[in-house]
Each structure stands twice: as structure tokens, then as C-alpha cells.
Amino acid sequence: GENVEQHPSTLSVQEGDSAVIKCTYSDSASNYFPWYKQELGKGPQLIIDIRSNVGEKKDQRIAVTLNKTAKHFSLHITETQPEDSAVYFCATNRDSNYQLIWGAGTKLIIKP
């Protein structure tokens, strides 16, 4: 079945520096790639998503890139701030439908 691998599991960066989280997937039919941010005690919140017909998408300090040939996509956060500290999850859809398959998460720590 579909598998999503996410790296690294923990990422610690200095405030103001950039952070990059990478995911790979196995189902070539996947065509939707969201990224979620989860703070302690809260549910995941969508921060950005990308469709398979787009290679890159940017929203202020956050960007996502997609390489369908290599089956990987990445989250880029620039000018990191303390409030960016959280667990970030990548996901993709199974068999081109609504069911999301999730990575194991990356704990992002922003050091002041």
C-alpha cells in the first residue's frame, strides 16, 4: 500500500534560519500533497498544500516543492520564528481520493 516517509524526525534551527523537511511517497497515483502543523494538545492545521500539476507553491515564509518523477516533496520555512516550533506532518492521498496517508512527523525546534 501507499507509504509516506518523512525526514528528519527532529530538526533544531536557530531563529531566523531556514528549515527544510522532506517526504517521499510510493503511490504514483497520488496527486494531492498537504502539509499540516500540529501544536501540543491541538489537532493538525493545514498550512500549505500542492497539487500534482504544480511544481512549487509559496505562501509568505512557507513554500512547498514537488518532484513527481522522484516521488518526493519538501516543506521550506524561511526566517523561522519561535512560533514555528511544532510538529509538522506531510501527507498524500491514497488512490487519488480523500483518504490521507501521513508521514510520522517532524518536531521542529526554533532556538532563540
Partner 1 sequence: GAGVSQTPSNKVTEKGKYVELRCDPISGHTALYWYRQSLGQGPEFLIYFQGTGAADDSGLPNDRFFAVRPEGSVSTLKIQRTERGDSAVYLCASSPYPGGTYNEQFFGPGTRLTVL
**Per-residue DSSP letters for 62-93?**
EEEEEETTTTEEEEEE-S--GGG-EEEEEEEE
Stretch binding partner 1 (CB under 8 A), from 12-20, 28-36, 58-66, 73-81: 28-36
43-62 residues near partner 1, rule: CB under 8 A? 43-46, 49, 51
- Tell me if 64 contacts partner 1 by CB under 8 A: no
Binding to partner 1 by residue 42, rule CB under 8 A? yes
110 binds partner 1 (CB under 8 A): no
Interaction between residue 89 and partner 1 (CB under 8 A):
yes
| φ and ψ of 49, to 5 deg | -145, 165
Q: Please, are residues 102 and 93 in contact by the beta-carbon 8 Å criterion?
A: no
